[in-house]
Amino acid sequence: MLKDKNIFTISDEIYEKILFDGEEHFSIGSIDYLRDKTITVNGVSKAFAMTGWRIGYAGGNTEVIKLARNLQSHSTSNASSISQAATVAALREPNGEIIEMVRQFKERRDFIYNSLNKIKGIKCPLPKGAFYVFYDVSAYYGKNFNGYEIKDSSSFCNYLLNDQYVGLVPGFAFGNDNCVRMSYACSYEELTDGIERMTKALNQLH
């Protein structure tokens, strides 16, 4: 257990507000005996859709944060004053728009989850948060089309990109080469078109 060890935990909680099906966020830093040994990392890029504003922040033990600030100030430039002001405004606003955004993300999650699991060979678990699905495509490994063989998650993604212009992220980057990652942070029209293109490309494999 961490309680009796001199180990610091860095907890990335960027998706704390994007949860579905009654899931609730729990911060490891809220545990009394871990509070001084936890650095919580967060930002406004996900829940507030402010990716381009480049604002992140961390909370933790005063001395640790002081040292991190000294390191950061010599490593990167500071965020602009406009970005900082916009972030303060976003954090102070009520969560009504975030709640609506999460509701729409859940609808898209349900759509993409159901659509993917209708494609033979794909096994997609139901995500409980964020706006990605991470699903198993290993049933297609060893298959080919026009001399191009699917060997792993990288070649699977390359095939879909080159054949149907569908962009996915290989699962090996996340520790599972049997899977690929797809974002559903886009319109229903784009999701529907992507599923149709993917289905067409996979049906060509033999």
- pLDDT tens digits, 47-87: 999 999 999 999 999 999 999 999 988 888 788 999 999 99
* CATH code, domain carrying 19: 3.40.640.10
What mean pLDDT do residues 172-191 have? 97
Mean pLDDT of the chain: 96
Any idea which of 52-56, 128-132, 162-166, 178-182 has the lowest mean pLDDT? 52-56
User: Does 109 reside within a domain?
Assistant: yes
- CATH code, domain with 199: 3.90.1150.10
Instruction: Give residue 29's pLDDT band: very low, low, confident or very high (50, 70, 90).
Output: very high
Q: How many domains does the chain have?
A: 2
Q: Are residues 106 and 198 in the same domain?
A: yes
Q: The tokens 């899931």 sit on which residue?
A: 23
Q: Quote the tokens at residue 49.
A: 């859709």
Which single residue is written with the structure tokens 């229903």? 188
Tokens of 8: 């610091």
Q: 3-class DSSP state for residue 150?
A: coil
**Are residues 85 and 125 located together in one domain of the fold?**
no
Q: Is residue 157 part of a domain?
A: yes
Radius of gyration of the chain measured on its C-alpha atoms: 21
Question: Is 133 in the same domain as 178?
Answer: yes
Q: Do both 128 and 54 map to the same domain?
A: no
Check whether residue 39 and residue 121 sit in a common domain.
no
Residue 170 β-bridge partners? 180
In a domain, 124, yes or no: yes
Same domain as 104, residue 31: no
> Is 180 in the same domain as 160?
yes
| 106 and 80 within one domain | no
**Residue 24: predicted pLDDT:** 97
Please check whether residue 136 lies inside any domain of the structure.
yes
Segments forming the whole domain that contains residue 65: 9-92
pTM, two decimals, is 0.91
Dihedrals phi, psi of 53, to nearest 5 degrees: -80, -15
